[in-house]
Chain A
Amino acid sequence: MNQSKASTWRLLFLISPSLFWLVVFFAIPLLLVLAMSFGQRGIYGGVEWKFTLDNFFRFLNPSDPLYLRIFYRTVYIAIITTVVSFLIGYPMAFWIAVQPPKRRNALILLLMVPFWTNFLVRTYAWILILREQGVINNLWTETIHQLALHIGATLPWLPLEGLVRVTATPLPLFGTDLAIIIGLVYGWLPDMVLPCYAAIERFDFSLVEAAEDLYANRVQAFIRVIFPLTLPGVVAGSILVFIPSLGAYVTPDLLGGAKSVMIGNVIYAQFMNARDYPFGAAISFVLMTLMLIGTLIYFRSTVAKQKGERRAI
């Protein structure tokens, strides 16, 4: 046995625990799902191992776009979630990053604290906030409604009729796309804030002074210098929010009600209710492939950029 072969064996030995784990609990199940997606549903559930592409055609059928439509809605919700997370998360990250170092760590800790509680529990909490007799609607139909009535009675010249009318009925929050988006943004916000924070914290603010010295006002300095240089953090955060939002199951299941179904719920239903494993597997695989392609494009572009810079030196 020569030297390099020996070292290869030693390396294999060292990585064998993780290799074992990945193969047994990740690669094999994944291949099983892939194999399943080409199978047929048995009459009493289970899988009949006959090769077919029907499951994929059924999902991606343009003439009967039931599932495609749910898929589009899912992508749409995931995009909105990502954008809203960015709009909230980036300013938040920025604010934290410009605090004195001691306070920064405390704020990051505060950001993480809610996430030590179980995700299900926190999602149930949102039901209590958003439902018809929930916190928000109580404020809306009781407090604000009563206030509007009283003030309207004592000061009749104030144009409050409209407010009285709209506050008479609760806001339709629970069971809507809005509720799902709120739940998803809440759930994945730290995943946006942390990479953005890391990028902004590393940012050299003397560059802002340089921009201001060169006649850029605050807004121009942000657009031309700060944002482009913290963009990698934004992209990383967006991927971290977009991908789990695309595959979300618990949030739409609990907050979304009957009309707001996401693709994660469809997959669940195929496996657990319809017992159509092959179809569920096919949808899973299409979803996974799309996520993989998106991630690859991102890594390709950043790696290529870095390589290009290095080569030019």
Chain B
Amino acid sequence: MNERFAVELRQVTKQFDEVTAVDGVSLGIRDGEFFSLLGPSGCGKTTTLRLIGGFEMPTGGDVLIEGKPQGFTPPYKRPVNTVFQNYALFPHMNVFENVAFGLQMQKVAREEIRKRVKEMLELVQLPGMEYRKPNQLSGGQQQRVALARALINHPKVLLLDEPLGALDLKLRKAMQLELKALQQRVGITFIYVTHDQEEALTMSDRIAVMHKGKVLQLGAPEEIYEKPTNRFVADFIGETNFLEGRVANINASWVEVLINESLPIRLPAARQVVQGQKVTLAIRPEKLSLAKTALQASDLRGEVQEIIYIGTDIRYLVRISPQTTIIVREQNRGGALGERFQHGEQIYVHWSTEHVNLLTE
């Protein structure tokens, strides 16, 4: 398999004095893809982006852009452009000058620049704003200028470093959809850095979840959400119930995991596990449901400990064994008068084995 990637990282490492910010990361980003680097602050996602942009130079490995090894190529010689976290618009230049900057540096003819800036400002829905200064624009408008300033150069790859971080929630949601639509229209590969898992799930074709300088999982949003391969990913993205246990019994068709030495749960044999191995079961709260009577033999008996009303959903804390409490999320279909389970009520937690992820670390 020798796929041609827009950007490829080969064993890229970046060491700052004592700290290893990026630790042997290898990934391939496909042409025209909306690719997200997702992780908590300090996970190395921004450094990874800066390594691609050429603002940092790797201490090991290499970055390839369109198959060309970049080595220590400075940013101004790379066919990528960046939308910076705080936009980094030039405060002494107006919108036109900001957007035209890249073309001026590439010695594009004056008339051509005028034409392309006009087109670009229309594309980002800022027509007629040419002569405003950045400090006269709202956050959302500045964001669009930063986008126009980068996209006007027709880069092979656009790097975006938490570009929506400074905007308020409503505007951010609107911009997410707009960005995604824009990306599909221009067909440029986007590499998007964010710590907001919802944002990454909404916009991305594929996501790389990073932690402590390493890529923990790479895949489509559904894959990352439904089939997290390790505890960090399951925990960081969405809400998850973790049940610690050990493998008590194995046979050809199922694995029995004993939770807290007291609660046996049977799963279809999928992964390589050995007898006695410590494992964690991960299951999303919204995959569970409550019922007054058991719907199937595997349903867990429990008692409602706490009820949390959050508008769209109702969260129930259910004690299923003396040491174990799990969260069950039920959609709020019934409204204010709808049927609810009561505090202290004895109920059954209904679940299906396909929604349980067996994590071995």
Contacts and interface: CB of A to CB of B under 8 A. Distances in A.
A214 B55 contact: no
Given A209-B55, A214-B102, A312 B133 contact: yes
Contacts of A210: 82, 84, 88-90
B82 A213 contact: yes
Nearest to A204: B88
A147 interface: no
Most buried by A among B54, B82, B88: B88
Given A209-B84, A309-B133, A312-B133, A217 B76 contact: yes
A229 B75 CA distance: 22
Contacts of A207: 88, 90
Contact of A225 (B90, B106, B149): B90
A196 to B, nearest CB: 17
13 contacts: A204-B88, A209-B55, A209-B84, A213-B55, A213-B75, A213-B81, A214-B81, A214-B150, A214-B153, A309-B135, A312-B136, A313-B135, A313-B136
B107 to A, nearest CB: 10
Contacts of A211: 90, 101
A212 B82 CA distance: 10
Most buried by B among A207, A212, A214, A228: A214
Contact of B76 (A204, A206, A213, A229): A213
Interface string A183-215: 000000000000000000000101101111111
The 8 lowest CB-CB distance pairs between A and B, nearest first, are A214-B102, A210-B88, A215-B105, A212-B75, A206-B88, A213-B82, A215-B76, A216-B105
Interface residues of A, number: 20
Interface in B42-87: 53-55, 74-76, 80-82, 84, 86
Interface of A is mostly: helix
A213 B90 contact: no
Contacts of B88: 204, 206-207, 209-210
A229 B92 contact: yes
Interface string A57-70: 00000000000000
Nearest to A228: B92
B91 A206 contact: no
A215 B153 contact: yes
A220 interface: yes
B84 A220 contact: no
Contacts of B74: 212, 217
Contact of A214 (B54, B86, B91, B101): B101
Q: What is the size category of the interface that chain B forms with chain A?
A: 20 to 34
Contacts of A225: 90
A242 to B, nearest CB: 24
A224 B100 CA distance: 13
B101 A206 contact: no
Nearest to B85: A206
Nearest to A216: B105
B115 to A, nearest CB: 18
Contacts of A212: 54-55, 74-76
B53 A213 contact: yes
A209 B90 contact: no
Interface in B96-117: 101-102, 105-106
A204 B86 CA distance: 11
Contacts of A206: 84, 86, 88
Contacts of B132: 312
Contacts of B133: 309, 312
Given A209-B75, A209-B88, A229-B92, A214 B105 contact: yes
Contact of A215 (B84, B91, B106, B135): B106
A212 B74 CA distance: 8
A190 to B, nearest CB: 27
Interface in B145-173: 149-150, 153
A214 B54 CA distance: 12
B296 to A, nearest CB: 58
Contacts of B81: 213-214
Contacts of A228: 92
B257 to A, nearest CB: 50
A288 B221 CA distance: 73
Contacts of A214: 76, 81, 101-102, 105, 149-150, 153
Most buried by B among A212, A213, A224: A213
A229 B93 CA distance: 10
A312 B95 CA distance: 14
Nearest to B89: A210
Nearest to A221: B76
Contacts of B106: 215
A203 to B, nearest CB: 10
A276 to B, nearest CB: 50
Contacts of A309: 133, 135-136
Given A207-B90, A209-B88, A214-B101, 12 more contacts: A204-B88, A206-B84, A206-B86, A209-B82, A210-B88, A216-B76, A217-B74, A220-B105, A224-B101, A225-B90, A312-B132, A312-B133
A211 B89 CA distance: 9
Contacts of B53: 213
Interface in A212-259: 212-217, 220, 224-225, 228-229
A290 B132 CA distance: 36
A294 B89 CA distance: 33
A215 B92 contact: no
Contacts of B86: 206
Nearest to B106: A215
A262 B74 CA distance: 51
A206 B135 CA distance: 17
